[in-house]
Copies of this chain bind each other. A is one copy, B any other.
Amino acid sequence: MSKIEQHSKPLTDIFIRQLGDLFGDRLHFGEAMRQQHGSSESHFDTMLPDAVVFPHSTEEVVALVKLCVAAKVPVVPFGAGTSVEGNVTPVCGGVCIDLSEMNNILSVNPEDLDCTVQAGVRREELNEYLRDKGVFFPIDPGANATIGGMASTRASGTNAVRYGTMREAILSLRVVTPDGRDIRTSGRARKSAAGYDITRLMIGAEGTLGIITEITLRLHGIPEVISSAVCSFDTIDGAVDTVVQSIQLGVPLARVEILDDVQMKAVNLWSKLNYPELTTLFFEFHGSETNVKEQIEIVSSVAADNGGGDFQWSNLPEERTKLWRARHEAYYAALGLKPGSVGWPTDVCVPLGRLAECIQLTKADLRKATIPATILGHVGDGNFHVIFVLDPNNPDDLIEAESLNTRMIERALSMNGTCTGEHGIGLGKQDWLKKELGETVEVMRTIKRALDPHNLFNPGKIFSFD
């Protein structure tokens, strides 16, 4: 459905032979495999890579990169394929590096509160592995993404309000650069003032500056008590103000999600639930028993002052899962509003004090629209999503969504916000990046040209090379 054309040139026989020597039966040219690595979770056109490889080590990635750079063939890293801005669409063809078989957990140091994993480890598997060690990895973008992919898009999600984003969660990276170097960007110390922050430069670079192969993550002790709560509000303002005031009061909310009335309706239909079809907040509190009790008391009282209804709450694991089910199934529930539809999840992030107004105005637009669209967001960060529900056979749907998206992003930028809180730029938000950051994009381009002079690392993403 997008308007971007693919430009690729065929691989040479000699290059194909060299690839085969390196990867043997882990080199694929089959249509189905290429389809799977060229399609998008959202509304972007599928574009096929010329080949797909499954490396098992950083050394293999180095060898591959050297081969590709010598032959001027693009490389596109691929994790779980759950990004939504066309971040891994191979617009110039080339070799897709699927890192999913680099999925070893290399070390866990509970006493240092850190671990090191290969890029293909998925976050749910990691947390399963960590559970009996008393520690956990908090970042939860919804999808069961790979840690490498989450690093590359600077992902965040529901826990970021308390635990930060991938930017804060990563201590160090192992990266293969376009000149074939195998670097470690930092040690395992919790802070360092040792030169340029190459770790943070690679986080969010979407594979355009290097291929992340290993990640050292900060972990957190599993809280003594985890408690979940759900509360409905008559107004969006009431819900947002409840969160902002709680944060100002210093309540260390672990998660706080907003779902609008349309999203709640979709969830009730999809998951056979019977929540009030009103703006709803989903909370999670972490801490000691006393502390969680106090947090809930403060938030309940703030909510009551802001027109909130009763708190449904629980601290038993199964009940918590049930309570949060509405939030976890939100995306598929939204798609359920129109059978056979395609979803386009977009997001913006604004300063906290502007969030209520930004959601209100966006919602006023959506009410007038013909396509279904739901709102859900990570209120504590000032970040919210709109999921546009599109008929893939009706081009007018996409046109309408584009216009709504434009209005929403322009509004967020006018409030000093960003065109993307957590999905990255990919293909979808390049024009907005320029509008948001102006000449800062020239600084990015200068860095890209210096580190990847032939534009071979995930080319065509974030900004144009020339």
Contact = CB atoms under 8 A, between A and B. Distances in A.
A419 to B, nearest CB: 6
A212 to B, nearest CB: 13
A221 interface: yes
Interface stretch (A11-19, A40-48, A105-113, A362-370): A105-113
B190 A438 contact: no
A418 B192 contact: yes
Contacts of A447: 196, 201, 447, 450-451
Interface in A348-395: 349-354, 381-383
B433 A195 contact: yes
Contact of A184 (B165, B187, B440): B440
A349 B419 contact: no
A463 interface: yes
Interface string A430-457: 0011001111111110111111000000
Nearest to A197: B200
Interface stretch (A229-237, A288-296, A318-326): A288-296
A122 to B, nearest CB: 20
Q: Of A110, A164, A349, which is in contact with the most chain B CB atoms at under 10 Å from its CB? A: A349
B413 A195 contact: no
Interface string A388-430: 0000000000000000000000001100111111111100010
A21 interface: no
A181 interface: yes
Contacts of A204: 193, 195-197
A353 B190 CA distance: 11
Interface in A196-228: 196-198, 200-201, 203-205, 209, 220-221, 223-224
A413 B462 contact: no
B353 A112 contact: yes
A160 interface: yes
Given A112-B354, A354-B112, A451-B446, A156 B191 contact: yes
Nearest to A224: B250
A187 B447 CA distance: 21
Given A187-B418, A188-B416, A248-B113, A194 B352 contact: no
Interface in A273-292: 286-288, 290-291
Interface in A90-116: 109-114
Contacts of A448: 196
A400 B333 CA distance: 69
Given A109-B351, A192-B420, A224-B250, 19 more contacts: A111-B353, A113-B248, A113-B352, A134-B248, A153-B193, A167-B191, A183-B439, A189-B351, A189-B417, A190-B349, A190-B352, A190-B383, A191-B421, A191-B422, A196-B205, A197-B203, A201-B201, A290-B291, A447-B451
30 contacts: A109-B353, A111-B353, A112-B353, A112-B354, A113-B247, A113-B248, A154-B197, A165-B191, A167-B191, A183-B440, A187-B418, A187-B436, A188-B351, A189-B351, A189-B418, A190-B351, A190-B383, A192-B349, A192-B418, A194-B418, A194-B433, A194-B436, A195-B462, A196-B448, A197-B204, A221-B247, A290-B290, A291-B291, A446-B451, A449-B450
